[in-house]
Amino acid sequence: MKIIGLTGGIASGKSLVAGMLTRLGAEVIDADEVGHQVIEPGLPAYYEIVNTFGAAILDSNGKVNRKKLGEVVFSCPDKLQKLNHITHPRILSKIHDLIEVTKKQRPQAIVVNEAALLFEIGLHLLVDEVWTVESDIGIQVQRIKQRNKVTEEQALARIKSQLPSDRRIARADRVIYNNAGVDKLFGDVMEIWGSFLN
- pTM of the entire structure? 0.90
Can you give the residue range of the structural domain that contains 111? 2-31+91-197
pLDDT tens, position by position, 71-119: 999 889 999 999 999 999 999 999 999 999 999 999 999 999 999 999 9
pLDDT tens, position by position, 142-185: 999 999 999 999 999 999 989 999 999 999 999 999 999 999 99
Q: Which of helix, strand or coil describes residue 7?
A: strand
Q: Per the domain annotation, does 122 fall within a domain?
A: yes
Q: What is the CATH number of the domain that holds 112?
A: 3.40.50.300
The Cα–Cα gap between 96 and 179 comes to 32
Side chain identity at residue 170, one-letter code:
A
Q: Return the percentage of the chain with pLDDT > 90, whole number.
A: 97
Q: Per the domain annotation, does 73 fall within a domain?
A: no
Q: Per the domain annotation, does 180 fall within a domain?
A: yes
Q: Per the domain annotation, does 159 fall within a domain?
A: yes
Domains: count for the chain = 1
Q: Per the domain annotation, does 119 fall within a domain?
A: yes
Q: What are phi and psi for residue 109, nearest 5 degrees? A: -65, 155
Residues with Cβ within 8 Å of 40's Cβ and at least 6 positions away in sequence, in order, are: 46, 63
Q: Per the domain annotation, does 127 fall within a domain?
A: yes
Q: Which of 191, 197, 171 is nearest to 5 (CA)?
A: 171
C-alpha separations of 42 from 21, 45, 49, 63 in Å:
34, 9, 12, 10
